[in-house]
Chains A and B, each alone.
Chain A
Amino acid sequence: MKRIFTRISVLAVFCLLAINVAFAQNITVIGRVTDGGDKSTIPSVSVMVKGTQIGAQTDATGAYSINAPANATLVFTYIGYVTQEIAVGNRTNINVVLQSSSQQLDQVVVVGYGTQRKIDVTGSVASVKGEEISKQASVNPISALQGKVAGVSITNSGAPGSSPRITIRGTGTVYGNTGVLYVVDGVWFDDVSFLNPGDIENLSILKDASSQSIYGIRAANGVVLITTKKGKTGDPVISYNGSVGYKKVTNQIEMANATEYATIINELIKSNDATATPLFANPSSYGEGTNWYNQGFRNALQTNHQVSVNGGTEKTTYNFSLGYTNEDGIVKTQNFKRYTAKFSNDFQVLKPLKIGYTVSGTAINTNDINDGIFRQLYAAGPVVPVYYADGSYGDANDFGLGGGNNFNPQVTLDYFNQKSKNYRITGNVYAELTVAKHFTFRTSAGGDFGQNEVRAYSPVYQATQGQRTTQSTLNINRDENRNWILENTLTYKNTFGDHNLTVLLGQTAQRRKNYFVRATAFDVPYSSDGDLYLALGTASTRRVEDGGSLLTSASYFGRVNYSFKDRYLLNATIRRDGASQFYGGGDLWGNFPAVGAGWIVTGENFMKDQKVVNYLKLKGSWGKVGNAGVPVNPTTLTIDQSGKLVAFFNGVGYTGANVNSIVPSFLNWERTVGTDIGLEAKFLNNRLSIETGFYNKKTEQAIFDINVLQSIGTSSGKLIGNQADFQNRGFEFLATYADVAKNGFSYSVSGNIGINNNKVLSVITGLNPIYAGGAGIANGALATRTIQGQPIGAFFGYQVAGIFQNAAEVAASAQRTSAKPGDFKYADVNGDGVIDGKDRIVLGNPNPKYSYGLSATFGYKEFDLSLDVQGVAGVDVYNANVAYRFGNENFSKDFYDNRWRGEGTSTTYPSANVGSTANAAPNSFYVEDGSYIRLRNVQLGYTLPTSLMTKLTLRKIRVFVDAQNAINLFGYKGFTPEIGGTPTNAGIDANVYPLSATYRLGLQVTF
């Protein structure tokens, strides 16, 4: 808000000045002012004759006209841009390109409950402009942050509209809500997939504990502040942005073809039972067979349209926008549509009173796919045709395949009928009142009301022996969220002499309520969607379940920002939070303090004479934040009344209910304590700027559930509690070089790198680790463990020492009783002559150590080109697809080509029997390097010349082509090493959504 105030008052002053034009013997200079970045024209730019009070400002099309002495110098000023001085030199037409003032010291950043001049910030806050987000092909705004900010790691999924996993400075939380807090115009969210990237003005990422602590309760995993676009004073600006493009799967895994499949399945049968007859008498007769990936994948269309209107007077400003996104999935039938509408108004009602609101409505309609489809496409036997000659579906049963791949993926695609509809209204209203000199009181109410409906219908059908239903089923699930937040703040802001002081006091209350209903009816007929009502199902078997959750929190906070001579900076924050999760069984209230200090060295007199460093700031901070993202009522023992406990007597069901869980008697807040030191500097006449810092972040009393003895007999086998301390230590570096060079050529290059070391400092179970990572691993084996001294969720298992080549080798080994030739030979780590659990070691780290990004923009006359390169290194992934086998699943071509198939054929790959218990046990073979580097974005744009625009009475037309993920380099053998997953289950690839590249053609028009 502060920024808008400043802007309005500055404009007002200029308006007054502009009236004062009264000089003779001058010439009239006209021209147009454009933005050096996106080439749009800039209205309301102040144009002053240097050394006088003479001024003018640009109109809505960026045009200005001013009377000035022929030898005068004109000064072009606009908030957020570098001021330019241009000598008139008798010219009557001067067009000016203003560069945005990312270099400028008066740059303002959004921080919690307000804004701060960047030079005053003592914590670590990264700012990303909305246009950097909206220019990308990403449908989800957070996806677009990938590689943009040092220390912020984004793991994207290829699913349309899906939210990425975002980690700020390493994983510090392993349970419950491990995501960051998003604050959109003051309203708190766990996910912002409903946001139209085009509506975002600015994204601020609070990275260190001192800047996060004002959001105490939910800040432990970092905070992303999103400011949406507000109206700006001036004539209406109407903008259209549109693009059309397509997505294509990249790095598709090559699977064994039908002949190879038949060959390797015969080997597998022989390995399991030497006397069994082979399933396929003549493998080569099957030829290439079906390529199921090609059958299921497609080039997916993606279209985007957005229209916005922005403008206002000194008393009223407005911003309206409409957005539409239609994205197909790379799997046939999958589709995501998002409609957004946003309205915001601000009114200066009275001199001391300002009110306003922002309301966004989002509708998301999706056509869903079966979650198991990627598994099916991987596993399906290529000997099975999609269709037989008579048009019926190919049936795995006819080929004797069964177990593990008793399906035809085409049937799954054809008969899976699930549609989701999501409606959401979010927004806030506020009033801001100057209650006394220097005192501003602000009150705001925000809300988030949403409903998600999923309707799934399965008809009666018999496609294959394994894919059939005898009764139709209609499921309707409805989820409702009703969340609100109230906030009151009082700000005191004053400058006396060299002292700048801002004091903020605030109070907030929140309530988050969820309610869901799930209903099922059987034997619902289908002739049209009009039949899909529960009412048409059989009455006696119709059923309803429901549930919900309720969370409340109350908080008080305060902050002092003090600077002396703009040189010495001091910031201090305290927040006190009460959360219903901790009511009655824990610390109801948590206190989260923070302090930060900075020193602008270049402000000192002794630095005045040097020319090397244009700007140098040293800063340090310390803070404490909390995490209440734990399950509701974690310390309340509740009754299990689920269906599995229903007893049947004489054929009739009777409710069963009992206690079958355990809860801790007491739960403390999970806290993260962070220390930061940093440096900001500018060199080479402000062209080169660097920011660097070290951080040490410690999560204390981390809350999560650990396995408890099964003999306690609980249903989940788990107990929640404050169980561990984690540490993330790291280093971040960011450098930007920008130049407004001559001859119409401009460029900027920016690079960032984050290094993070994740470590478990202690676990309550001592050296007894937390095992997890069962996803995608058959037979209940667990691939990760979290133990003192190692990273969270480190891969853990046997070290493969080779492949048993023959029976003699087996007989001479520690695995003599269980292994067969072609099996993995495991290292007997403890040398006791037995291979058992004690021989397992840490095999890899799913937490990236290095993440980096490199961006470059080039402008030449009307052309602009931008490139983003991004990558991670020092990370491992677990390829669970290889051994996740129950029977005759297909193999990758890589495995087929390299497998052991007799003495001397391979010393690294096992036989076809890779899915046996011993071979599938988590081991080093499945752990692969997860590093990658990719050309994340490349965009080439052309802006039509200004002269043409004037004729068309348009402000701007720009066309562009771009590509996202066009080039991906990695050694991993799956679709993508970008796996994601919850912290203790991260990096396990169990048929993740494949990576795709997006190519687009776009148009931007501003009227």
Chain B
Amino acid sequence: MKIINKNNYIQKLGLIALCSTILITPSCKKDFLNVDPQAQQPAVTFWKSQDDATKAVNSIYGNLRTWENTAFPALAVESIPGDDAEKGSSVNDASYLNNFDNYTAGSTEGQFSGFWTGQYQNINLCNQVLDNIPAINMDASLKARYLGEAKFVRAYSYFRLVRAFGDVPLRLNVPKDATEFNIPRTAKAQVWAAIEKDLDDAAAILPQTYPAVDRGRATRGAALALHAKVAMYLGKWDQVLSLTNTVMGLGYDLFPNYEQGFRLNNENNIESVFEIQCEINQSIPGSATSQYSQVQGVRGSVGGWGFNVPTATLAAAYEPGDVRRDATIIFRGETTPQGDIIAATGDNPMYNQKSYVPFSLIITGVNEGAQQNVRVLRFADVLLMNAEAANELNNITLAKTSLNKVRARARGGIAGVLPDIISTDKEVVRQAIWKERQVEFAMESDRYFDVIRQGRGTAVFGPKGWKAGKNEVWPIPSTEIDLSAGTLTQNPGY
């Protein structure tokens, strides 16, 4: 009897448990299934504070270091096709990069989509800032400055895109929904106009100097100088002249020692107009992203890959005694000013010295040389743009003043080397300025598009296979055309 009672009791208890289970579960199900994202901040809680705005603007600068912005894709599209640089490395390594040197690269070459992606990633981060920061309740002047910084980087990215591809999709806002994903190419004139507007806005807002803790942000001078460069590509010489004149009054100067200007301890020097800020900080995982120095480093040395190397054409382009030759080119067998001995045998006779990080500063386990800043705009460029604009506007005297200032530094203090240009012939001075640009900015990803801008593509690159009417721009990446289902068109000849 006792057992039976206990059994009954248990059975009743079970029924109660069963009923309560059925009753309780529906009431808690809603909260139970509402799970917050883990270790990721939901975007709806972002864009609320000044701190959010700061972080978002930081991300724009951070992203400039990516592989797409600084390594293979950028070098393939902007440097290797020039006559100052070639693929380098061992013959068999990444031989597809030769296709950029001889202009056979087709729309399927991965570096095109890499370069395209890198620029549009910058643009998205800028658009996020420009769309979202205005609504944040924060310090008004800081807000204005942040918007200016974003506009500068957006303009810089579109400049690289329009130079490389011509007409490109112009996105000045974050797509609101899927209907705004697939947009056609915008005529390049409109893209250039958008770039100019961004730079005007940026220059109007950005300060010329920052406190030391903010060193590396875009300045007014950077916006003006980039605008001058944009105007130069558009042949707007009046504008180039006035912009460069303004920049020349902002306190920049040439760094006295050309070679030293590219070393780590002289980053952000008096000549620097804009640099991509790179560092190795091992306590911040994933931040040593730049492979700019690594991919160009001396091959067979500490981690260098030896790509994008100087050409014999470049080595021969310098006038006798020009200190820039030795400062731009690491020759096989030399000892660098920092004391590194470069093996006399090796895959390549020359390497880029402007991206060089002395071997003693190389750290393994991160991208070798990831601390080297990328020099984007230097005051020397402002001077030579000023010279070219003045010359085109027939102010040959001013042109020569600016030009000779650049030459004087490269003289290394030795009389008779790099004599001043004294010709009064506009064409002679123009050629001298172009030549000066070749040697002054060698291995800085300027030469290729500079020559195309000058209209000399066939003359300079023709022997390597360059074809007018086609090679002024690169092909739109085929993957992107595929994804657009035909909304994007290909450039002629590809």
Contacts from A to B (Cβ < 8 Å): 265, 268-269, 272-273, 276, 350-353, 397, 400-404, 433-436, 441, 443, 458, 465, 468-471, 473, 488, 490, 507, 509, 520, 522, 540-543, 545-554, 578-580, 583-584, 588, 632-633, 636-660, 662, 665, 707-715, 717, 765-766, 768, 771, 779-781, 817-818, 836-837, 885-888, 913, 915-917, 921
Q: Which residues of A contact B15 (CB under 8 A)?
A: 435-436, 441
A to B CB contacts below 8 Å, 18 in the list: A269-B91, A404-B92, A547-B38, A552-B32, A554-B25, A639-B40, A643-B286, A644-B66, A648-B279, A649-B215, A660-B124, A710-B113, A711-B171, A713-B171, A781-B108, A818-B104, A917-B96, A917-B99
CB contact between B365 and one of A352, A458, A509, A658 (< 8 Å): that residue: A458
Q: Would B364 and A768 count as touching, CB distance under 8 A?
A: no
Kindly state the separation between the CA atoms of A654 and B483 in the bound complex, as whole angstroms: 36
Minimum C-beta distance from A842 to chain B (A): 16
Q: Would A709 and B181 count as touching, CB distance under 8 A?
A: yes
Q: Would A650 and B56 count as touching, CB distance under 8 A?
A: no
Question: Besides the contacts A709-B181, A817-B104, what 14 more A-B pairs have beta carbons closer than 8 Å?
Answer: A272-B91, A403-B305, A404-B92, A541-B281, A543-B285, A546-B39, A548-B39, A637-B44, A655-B58, A656-B58, A712-B175, A771-B482, A888-B90, A921-B108
Minimum C-beta distance from B349 to chain A (A): 12
Minimum C-beta distance from A101 to chain B (A): 35
Kindly state the separation between the CA atoms of A588 and B34 in the bound complex, as whole angstroms: 10
Q: Would B283 and A542 count as touching, CB distance under 8 A?
A: yes
**Using an 8 Å CB-CB cutoff, how does the interface string of B206-235 with A read, 1 for contact, 0 for none?**
000000111111000000000000000000
Closest to B487 in A: A709
Q: For the complex, would chain A's binding face be called helix, strand, loop or mixed by DSSP majority? A: mixed
Tell me if B10 is interfacial: C-beta within 8 Å of chain A. yes
**Using an 8 Å CB-CB cutoff, how does the interface string of B131-150 with A read, 1 for contact, 0 for none?**
00000000000000000000
A637-B42, A658-B59, A766-B485 known; A471 and B286 CB under 8 Å? no
Tell me if B282 is interfacial: C-beta within 8 Å of chain A. yes
Closest to A268 in B: B92
Q: Would A638 and B40 count as touching, CB distance under 8 A?
A: yes
**Using an 8 Å CB-CB cutoff, how does the interface string of B101-136 with A read, 1 for contact, 0 for none?**
000101111100110110011111101110000000
Q: Which residues of B contact A717 (CB under 8 A)?
A: 117
Q: Would B181 and A887 count as touching, CB distance under 8 A?
A: no
A441-B14, A709-B182 known; A402 and B477 CB under 8 Å? no
Which B1-44 residues have a C-beta within 8 angstroms of A?
A: 3, 6-7, 10-11, 14-15, 17-18, 21-22, 25, 29, 32-44
A712-B120, A887-B93 known; A655 and B110 CB under 8 Å? no
Q: Which residues of B contact A578 (CB under 8 A)?
A: 29, 33
Closest to A588 in B: B33
Kindly state the separation between the CA atoms of A552 and B175 in the bound complex, as whole angstroms: 32
Closest to B174 in A: A659
A647-B277, A708-B483 known; A583 and B33 CB under 8 Å? yes
Number of A-B residue pairs at CB separation under 8 A: 336
Kindly state the separation between the CA atoms of A34 and B80 in the bound complex, as whole angstroms: 80
Kindly state the separation between the CA atoms of A542 and B281 in the bound complex, as whole angstroms: 10
Tell me if B447 is interfacial: C-beta within 8 Å of chain A. no
Q: Which residues of B contact A658 (CB under 8 A)?
A: 55-56, 59-60, 125, 128-129
Q: Which residues of A contact B110 (CB under 8 A)?
A: 779-781
Q: Would A470 and B364 count as touching, CB distance under 8 A?
A: yes
Q: Which residues of A contact B41 (CB under 8 A)?
A: 638-639, 641, 657
Contacts from B to A (Cβ < 8 Å): 3, 6-7, 10-11, 14-15, 17-18, 21-22, 25, 29, 32-44, 46, 52, 54-63, 65-66, 89-96, 98-99, 104, 106-110, 113-114, 116-117, 120-125, 127-129, 168-169, 171, 174-175, 177, 181-183, 212-217, 268, 277-279, 281-287, 289, 299-302, 305, 347, 362-365, 477-480, 482-485
CB contact between A886 and one of B10, B66, B93, B181 (< 8 Å): that residue: B93
Q: Would A714 and B364 count as touching, CB distance under 8 A?
A: no
Closest 4 CB pairs of A and B: A643-B286, A713-B124, A780-B110, A403-B93
Minimum C-beta distance from B222 to chain A (A): 14
A644-B286, A650-B215 known; A655 and B482 CB under 8 Å? no
Closest to A276 in B: B91
CB contact between A353 and one of B10, B109, B215 (< 8 Å): that residue: B10
Kindly state the separation between the CA atoms of A540 and B299 in the bound complex, as whole angstroms: 31
Q: Would A652 and B55 count as touching, CB distance under 8 A?
A: no
Kindly state the separation between the CA atoms of A554 and B128 in the bound complex, as whole angstroms: 37
Q: Would A632 and B35 count as touching, CB distance under 8 A?
A: yes
Q: Which residues of A contact B29 (CB under 8 A)?
A: 554, 578
Q: Which residues of A contact B121 (CB under 8 A)?
A: 660, 713-715
Kindly state the separation between the CA atoms of A771 and B113 in the bound complex, as whole angstroms: 14
Minimum C-beta distance from B226 to chain A (A): 19
Q: Would B213 and A649 count as touching, CB distance under 8 A?
A: yes
Kindly state the separation between the CA atoms of A548 and B37 in the bound complex, as whole angstroms: 9
Residue with the highest number of chain B CB atoms closer than 10 Å, among A520, A659, A765: A659
CB contact between A552 and one of B14, B33, B92 (< 8 Å): that residue: B33
CB contact between A659 and one of B46, B122, B171 (< 8 Å): that residue: B46
Q: Would B287 and A916 count as touching, CB distance under 8 A?
A: no
Q: Which residues of A contact B60 (CB under 8 A)?
A: 647, 656, 658
Q: Would A583 and B35 count as touching, CB distance under 8 A?
A: yes
Kindly state the separation between the CA atoms of A537 and B257 in the bound complex, as whole angstroms: 39
Q: Would A653 and B14 count as touching, CB distance under 8 A?
A: no
Closest to A490 in B: B18
CB contact between A554 and one of B33, B44, B174 (< 8 Å): that residue: B33
Minimum C-beta distance from A741 to chain B (A): 52
Q: Would A642 and B37 count as touching, CB distance under 8 A?
A: no
Q: Would B22 and A887 count as touching, CB distance under 8 A?
A: no
Q: Which residues of A contact B305 (CB under 8 A)?
A: 403
Minimum C-beta distance from B343 to chain A (A): 10
Kindly state the separation between the CA atoms of A263 and B63 in the bound complex, as whole angstroms: 44
Closest to A713 in B: B124
Minimum C-beta distance from B182 to chain A (A): 6
A642-B286, A771-B479 known; A648 and B11 CB under 8 Å? no
Closest to A515 in B: B38
Kindly state the separation between the CA atoms of A886 and B89 in the bound complex, as whole angstroms: 11
Q: Would B25 and A507 count as touching, CB distance under 8 A?
A: yes
Q: Would B289 and A643 count as touching, CB distance under 8 A?
A: yes
CB contact between A403 and one of B17, B92, B364, B479 (< 8 Å): that residue: B92
Minimum C-beta distance from B154 to chain A (A): 11
Kindly state the separation between the CA atoms of A965 and B144 in the bound complex, as whole angstroms: 70
Q: Would B11 and A433 count as touching, CB distance under 8 A?
A: yes
CB contact between B38 and one of A470, A550, A921 (< 8 Å): that residue: A550
Q: Which residues of B contact A642 (CB under 8 A)?
A: 286
Kindly state the separation between the CA atoms of A709 and B110 in the bound complex, as whole angstroms: 15
Q: Which residues of A contact B279 (CB under 8 A)?
A: 648, 651, 653
Minimum C-beta distance from B164 to chain A (A): 13
